[in-house]
Amino acid sequence: MVKALFLVFFTIFTLFSQDDVTPLDDGDPLLSKVQSFLNADLYEQNSKFIDIVFSPRGNFYKYDKSLDVVKIISVLKENGLLKLHFRDPQELKLEFKTSGSALFFVKLLSDALRNMGYYRYVTISSNFDGNEFAWDISLTSEYALDPMNLQKELLKSGCKVLDIKRENATSWSYKIDMSGGFLNVPVLEDGQELRLHRSLDAHWLDVSKVSSIAITSSVRNRWYPYIAYYDASLNLIKVIRRDKRLRRARLKIPSSVKYIKIADVYTLKNLKDDLVLLPKGREDKKKLNDF
């Protein structure tokens, strides 16, 4: 056992001391990006090790020849070079940039952050310069935002991380591609029943494939409908509010509507049971209230 451990340490020492290891090149885009995520001392102390773990270089480039920054950070984290955990809760500042719709972008990011456990944050600023929208937020956390987890959540909505910049341990900037973005919500299909289970959050649905929806509420529910219609960029088209308790209704869905949000005028605590949705083709023959 002792001999085996000695052999392992000797092998590692030999690797780090080889004269033929490719020297770090300050002009190498990959190593420049690696260096931007680490402080100077840590980078210098581990320069040979960094050169080894990031070889071959081609493994860290995408098909379009751009750097795979999420993979770079993943390797740094796995090898103990980049720590995302703080000793004490810290104020974390995050900047998100995109060239897409501002409303859609904020919704996508808000959902991703919530799914990662970040519920409380404050918007510092939001700005659109004609080409790019930037959303800056701050939050208090014991962890820096994990780029791998963020990428995982964004992929669920057809988005991906293009670039990441680190100002310091508590200040990060993310550039996001949302050209193929969509809300990761249930898609209503013609003739397929959907039940909206009790929730304290509004229900979002993709209604692009249906022309009408019949909604049935149980006798235990006290549902005062609040329904909002949105286009594909989340521009608000129409809002329906009813101060009257309803048990049955039918929504007509214009072709311009991509998403709807179903809630209650007062509180979703009014719903004790499911709301049952029947897209076009399965409406009940009983009288419905058209919206």
pLDDT, one tens digit per residue, over 169-205 is 999 999 999 999 999 999 999 989 999 999 989 999 9
Residue 221: other Cβ atoms inside 10 A: 19
Residue type, 289: N
Number of domains in the chain: 3
User: How would residue 289 be classed by pLDDT, with cut points 50, 70 and 90?
Assistant: low
The per-residue pLDDT for range 58-93, each reduced to its tens digit, is 999 999 899 999 999 999 999 999 999 998 999 999
pTM check: above 0.85: no
User: How would residue 288 be classed by pLDDT, with cut points 50, 70 and 90?
Assistant: low
Name residue, tokens 């962890």: 143
Q: Which residues, 6 or more positions from 226, have their beta carbon under 8 angstroms from its beta carbon?
A: 239, 240, 241, 242, 262, 263, 264, 265
Per the prediction, the chain carries an average pLDDT of 87
The per-residue pLDDT for range 97-115, each reduced to its tens digit, is 999 889 999 999 999 999 9
In this structure, the answer to whether residues 9 and 89 fall within a common structural domain is: no
- Out of 149, 177, 205, pick the residue that ends a domain: 177
- DSSP string across 115-131: HTT----EEEEEEE-SS
User: How would residue 130 be classed by pLDDT, with cut points 50, 70 and 90?
Assistant: confident
Report whether pLDDT(12) > 90: no
In this structure, the answer to whether residues 90 and 159 fall within a common structural domain is: yes
Q: Is residue 263 part of a domain?
A: yes
Q: Is residue 183 part of a domain?
A: no
Q: How far apart are CA 85 and CA 97, in angstroms?
A: 24
Name residue, tokens 């052999």: 7
Q: What is the mean pLDDT of residues 121-135?
A: 93
Domain span at residue 259 reads 194-279
Q: Is residue 285 part of a domain?
A: no
Q: Is residue 157 part of a domain?
A: yes
Share of the chain above pLDDT 90, in %: 80
